[in-house]
Amino acid sequence: MKQLVTIFALIIFISACTTTQHLQPADADLFLAQQRIPGITMTDLQRGYKMYSLNCSGCHRLHDPVEYTAGQWKPILDKMFVKARLSDDRQKQLISNYLVAKSK
């Protein structure tokens, strides 16, 4: 019985981890990202994802970047940066670049 509970807990834990895994930047994303944002690096994408997950998951689930086009993200971000009380331009740039790089 104890083992069963452990296995069950493990399954839940693993599935919780994998649900946001596709949001993490992968090497395969870099090519498209650089077409959209010339000069962007893997480090920029990773920092952007980190900033995004830290600042944008407090009120709702993390939205998948592919839910919107780059053009749709812009006005959403103008609104959400205010909600997240983000004022640091570099942080905003990293989040925006990450989302646009992986957008629809």
**Does position 56 bind ligand HEC by CB under 6 A?**
yes
Q: Which stretch binds ligand HEC (CB under 6 A): 9-17, 20-28, 33-41, 76-84?
A: 76-84
**Does position 50 bind ligand HEC by CB under 6 A?**
no
Of 22, 14, 11, 35, nearest to 63 (Cα)? 22
Q: How far is the CB of 23 from ligand HEC (least distance, A)?
A: 12
Integer Cα distance of 62 and 100 in angstroms: 15
For residue 16, the tally of other CB atoms under 10 A from its CB is 9
CA of 30: how far to CAs of 9, 21, 46, in Å? 35, 16, 11
Of 81, 80, 73, 61, nearest to 97 (Cα)? 73
**Does position 80 bind ligand HEC by CB under 6 A?**
yes
Q: How far is the CB of 81 from ligand HEC (least distance, A)?
A: 5
Q: Which stretch binds ligand HEC (CB under 6 A): 4-12, 25-33, 38-46, 53-61?
A: 53-61
Residues that bind ligand HEC (CB under 6 A): 55-56, 58-60, 63, 76-77, 79-81, 83-84, 86, 95
